[in-house]
Structure 1
């Protein structure tokens, strides 16, 4: 791609010599920037919601500050239309990559916040490119059901990608929110969108976290997302549970905590995600 086609507020002053498109997900265009000081990663979405990349940058910086054994790329530049980040050379996993990730994630989750919700007092954030409410609260079941699941169900129904039965079911389940959400836990720092594509393996088999939707939440949110699309093996989960044991019944709650990503995928991509979310609601309403 011609450098002149990239926004100057993102690349100006970085001594960029060339830009090469790379794979980077469904939300933004992605490029490797070759500079005089080495490669950088650029993600760019013309016309992005003004705070989309601001929220991601906040999450990256907070995760980086508390990353422990995990790696998080440095934010080099942030604008309303994109981010420039430290470049990560991908590499093969080592025999210890999965266990290291489980222990590292457990260490990250031991970072405790004052309330569930945003990291910096902002009232909204994003899961993918779908806006979500991050107004802080000390009540996790209220946050999860009233501020996350119900609004996403309503948006999905409005868009014709989620059955109206979903609203009937969540209205039946809402009074059981305390039970369904599990025993009380403090708010942990979570990645928030931890599918396998947002974990990169770099040089030496080290684990990197990218593309976060970071906030303060119940830590099972990350475990549920890791289980939804696969890509993390049993050694990873065992190492996590050994380092930071999960509350009894956590496996039974995994599907419950998969509701937000299923609903967001239904809203953004359609397909069978709306039906999958409905199946989850039916499962817990039995």
Structure 2
């Protein structure tokens, strides 16, 4: 096997991620690569390129292979976390023409409806929450009363209007890799969305040094009043995705978020 015309010296399997396999590859010239195999990665590659910094660089994406630089992990320093906050603010500020995207999306290996919309609250309900609520109901991971609780929460939702931001869309802590003194974003579900979505996703599973990230972000791009109270609204979508993928173990967290709206 070769990459960029250079033979592979070593390849270490790193396991599976949903429908694909993961590999740490070292070429004979010493370069190290992170390689994903076994899926159509065209949307992921396009998303990384569209987002720009601080996303990881796409070295190659052809067929069922995606090649990124190997990023040796390191604990985040305060400065690296603050740099991430500033970089996220700059990425969001690059904006998008509308909510959604001009390409079909996915999150993990589930389809993601990127049909464009002009008003965030209804777009979020129709394209991000209700499709996965139906999937969870169909899989018997949620019952009728659970579904009504989520629907009632959407009816109470209010989000101050902002223009579409250029967002990662799946920004949990595992998709933020600290290496070389800075953060690199991977595995996006990139689209035009609300910037509060990315910040809420960072909070969902406890990103390290989140306080430093948020402090630096808000210094550059102040948030609308009450944004912390809206975090559960933005977490409905990723929690529903987890219910669909992993079953009812995420049911309580989903219903807690719905009740908090």
Could you tell me the TM-score, scaled by structure 2's length? 0.91
Whole-angstrom CA distance in 2 between matches of 1:134 and 1:15: 39
Q: 1:231 to 1:171 in 2, by over 3 A?
A: closer
- Aligned-pair CA distance for 1:22: 2.7
Partner of 1:60: 48
Whole-angstrom CA distance in 2 between matches of 1:194 and 1:217: 13
Partner of 2:228: 251
Deviation per CA, 1:156-193: give whole Å up to 9, x if none: 110111222233234434444xxx24110010011111
Work out whether 1:264 is the aligned partner of 2:249: no
Deviation per CA, 1:100-148: give whole Å up to 9, x if none: 1111111111111110001xx12x3112222111011112112101111
Partner of 1:44: 37
SS in 2 for 1:84: strand
Instruction: Work out which of the residue numbers 73, 98, 101 in structure 2 matches 1:115.
Output: 98
Q: 1:142 to 1:14 in 2, by over 3 A?
A: farther
Work out whether 1:144 is the aligned partner of 2:144: no
Partner of 1:88: 71
In the alignment, structure 1 segments of 5+ residues that lack a partner are none
8 Å CA contact 2:78, 2:212 repeated in 1: no
Q: 1:23 to 1:243 in 2, by over 3 A?
A: farther
Whole-angstrom CA distance in 1 between matches of 2:110 and 2:254: 16
Whole-angstrom CA distance in 2 between matches of 1:231 and 1:243: 20
Q: 1:95 to 1:58 in 2, by over 3 A?
A: same
Whole-angstrom CA distance in 2 between matches of 1:278 and 1:235: 29
Instruction: Work out which of the residue numbers 200, 204, 209 in structure 1 matches 2:177.
Output: 200
Work out whether 1:222 is the aligned partner of 2:198: yes
Deviation per CA, 1:257-280: give whole Å up to 9, x if none: 101111111111124212321222
8 Å CA contact 1:73, 1:87 repeated in 2: no
- Aligned-pair CA distance for 1:249: 0.7
SS in 1 for 2:134: helix
In the alignment, structure 2 segments of 5+ residues that lack a partner are none
Q: What's the RMSD between the two structures over aligned residues?
A: 2.0
Partner of 1:209: 185
- Aligned-pair CA distance for 1:222: 0.4
- Aligned-pair CA distance for 1:58: 0.7
8 Å CA contact 1:166, 1:281 repeated in 2: no
